[in-house]
Amino acid sequence: MKSDYRFVNHTRQWLVSKYSFGMSVENLEFTTILEVKVEDEIAERAKMFLDTLSKEYIEYNLRSEYDINERTLGYIDKQINEVSSTLGVYEDDLEQFMSSKNILDLSKEQEQYYDEMVRYETQKRQFEMMIESVNSLEDYVLNIGDSKLLPPSFYILEDDVFLKSMLTQLYNMQMDMNSKTFDATFENPAITRSDSIMQLNRSNLLIYLTNTRNAIKDKIKDVGTQISDYERMVKGVPANQRGMLNIKRKLNVNEKLYEFLLEKRANTVIARAGIIPQTKVIERARSMGVVRPDKMKILYTFLVGGVLLSMILVFVRVLFYDRVENADQLRSATHLPVFGEIIASDKAEDNYVVVDSDPKSAITESFRTVRTNLEYLPATEAGKVVMVTSYRPNEGKTFCSVNLGAILAKAGKKVLLLELDLHKPKVAVGLGMHTTTGLSSILVGKTGYAECVQPTQIENFSVILSGPTPPNASELVLSKHLAGLFEWGRQQYDYVLVDTPPVGLITDALLMMKHVDATLFVINTRFANKDHIKSAMETAQASTSANFGFILNGVRMKKSKYYYNTNYGYGYRYAYGYGSGYGYGYGYGSRRKKKEGDAGKQDGSNQNS
């Protein structure tokens, strides 16, 4: 059986970061025991790492102790060599002096003076050596740099516990700094803080060394005073004897210093044999089993994350996605009836009366649905007057008026469409018709009703166009002839459809609602959000129409519950736009496209007003 292997060469820094991240150290309460744990994909490798780490740590501590001992021995040997050289010089001088002066012995009193001077000279020499140690220790503290070793123990003054504690603390902080630099740079806040504390401790230690040096110098002055006193006493001794005493005194001082250094060296060698690790392993590394992945933790994390994500999605959808995209959503947003939804279709771009040009399309079927729902309006003795309006321009009310009239006519109903949007008439443009007389002429009383009726290309479907655009269109709606026109339409036709201006800009439709049997409020999916529906509801409340309902225009096929995945065609594009102000610059479909490019083209929505 063949096996494939893949070797990955990791850098030292990557491995250090990996084990530093996966390792934890805990100090067990009320003990000096450290519990070290490390996580790894391979249990044996983790155990090997911990065993090796413990071994290296112990050996590192031993090496530090040995290095300190070696440096102490080196320092003592250096001092011994210097004292030995000095002894040799003084011995030769004494021997030569005694031979030249024929001196054999000293008196008892002279010997006493001599011994006291030697004792004080020895103390003075020891104090001078202490100052030298303090100077060496100060130089070590000032130039510690990245050193990882403590200074020689000979630098530390005997019985000075505070100095020893300060040096140990400084050493530990330097070691901690060195370990932290494996994982972070010197700009890291933790390293910067440690460095600041270490510098503060170093400054305190330097101040302490300065004070210690001054104190030792004071002691040297005291010893020097004693030596001066005995020197005055020795002056009474003959000159030859006095010269010999001076040489012998220096010789004895260096002999005692030599003996002191030999004793210190012997103690240091003996201490080397007694160096043992200060740290030991009380339990070998062992596997604690699988700690990751924590399946329950992952499960709870994903459950909580899923709930939070769902709440965020709901919040975002409620806050930003408040568009109404089909009739079901519109019904849930309002208590008023919805007569139907008009499917978007590209075929409306080529032919305004799409129910005539493509009778099998989804958009035509959606108009049939609206026609069927109109049949459920309360019965009247004569025909029904139905007003079609919208809240704002570009929602497709004129388009719906024309095609609804056409689909009613195809069902055998006599239909009359009144183009009562006198501010910006669009029916004539959509049907390709024109006239010099129309509703404006009727409302001023210049023309009779029947004289302005024009047949369309569809049987049983007639229109009365707006006629010449009047300067006072809103005042004409208040004409007494308007009620007579509606009554005449009821007597002559089954349905009278009224195309009006948008109620959000002009109040003409609100004034006409008292004359109609039903009001169809067209809402386009491009504008159908909560605020828009709220405005439509406010219009419905202000309406005097007994039957008020909505038509949702521009519904995409895939958003519709009733027409998606059917054999009907889908989608149309029709553009209608008001200019910078209501009553200026309008157009639709391919005519506008030819004149103004693609400015009037809006994908997937019926945008006629």
Task: List, run by run, the mean pLDDT of 10-residue segments along the chain (609 residues).
Answer: 79 86 84 86 87 87 83 86 84 72 54 75 82 80 58 60 76 72 67 81 84 87 83 62 71 83 86 80 81 82 92 80 80 86 82 86 90 87 90 88 93 92 87 86 88 91 89 83 90 93 86 88 85 82 79 82 52 36 36 40 39
How far is CA 362 from its chain centroid?
48
At residue 109, the pLDDT reads: 55
Per-residue H/E/C for 489-515: HHHHCCEEEEECCCCCCCCHHHHHHHH
Tell me the angle at which helices 43-101 and 239-273 cross, rounded to the nearest 10 degrees. 160
Question: In 3-state terms, what secondary structure has residue 387?
Answer: strand
Same domain, 94 and 231: yes
HEC states along 183-196?
CCCCCCHHHHHHHH
- The domain that contains 475 carries what CATH number? 3.40.50.300
Instruction: Examine the domain organization and report whether 249 and 353 are in the same domain.
Output: no
Distance, in Å, from the CA atom of 312 to the CA atom of 540, rounded to the nearest integer, reads 34
Residue 584, in any domain of the structure:
yes
Distance of CA 595 to the CA centre of its chain: 50
Long-range contacts of 479-487 (CB under 8 A, 24+ apart): 479/443, 479/444, 479/445, 481/442, 481/443, 481/444, 481/445, 482/443, 482/512, 482/515, 483/515, 484/449, 485/418, 485/439, 485/442, 485/443, 485/449, 486/385, 486/515, 486/516
387 and 517: one domain? yes
378-409 pLDDT, tens digit per residue, is 888 888 999 999 988 888 889 999 999 999 99
Q: Where among 252, 273, 294 does a domain terminate?
A: 273
Let me know whether 256 and 336 are in one domain.
Answer: no
* Residues 247 and 374 grouped into a single domain: no
Per-residue pLDDT reduced to its tens digit, 133-162: 788 778 777 776 444 455 655 555 666 777
Of 273, 289, 311, the residue at which a domain comes to its end is 273
State whether 332 and 251 are in the same domain.
Answer: no
Count of domains forming the chain: 2
Instruction: Check residue 578 and give its pLDDT.
Output: 37
- Sign of the torsion angle spanned by Cα atoms 426, 432, 437, 442: negative
CA 363 to the chain's CA centroid: 48
Is residue 333 domain-shared with residue 192, that is, in the same domain?
no
Average pLDDT over the chain reads 79
Residue 321 lies in a domain: no
Give me the domain span that covers residue 79: 21-273
Q: Does residue 245 form part of some domain?
A: yes
Is 350 domain-assigned? Answer: yes
Quick check: is 27 in a domain?
Answer: yes
Same domain, 219 and 347: no
Please give the structure tokens belonging to residue 553: 């225009």
- Check whether residue 583 and residue 485 sit in a common domain: yes
Q: Are residues 223 and 353 in the same domain?
A: no
ω into 293 cis (within 30 of 0): yes
Pairing status of strand 461-464 against strand 454-455: antiparallel
Last residue of a domain, one of 273, 289, 309: 273
393 and 256 housed in the same domain: no
What is the tens place of the pLDDT at every residue in 332-372? 888 888 898 898 888 777 788 888 888 888 888 999 999 99
Beta-strand relationship, 495-499 and 384-390: parallel
Distance, first Cα to last Cα, the chain = 77
Domain contains 601: no
pLDDT of residue 270: 86
| 301 in a structural domain | no
489 falls within a domain: yes
260 and 409 belong to one structural domain: no
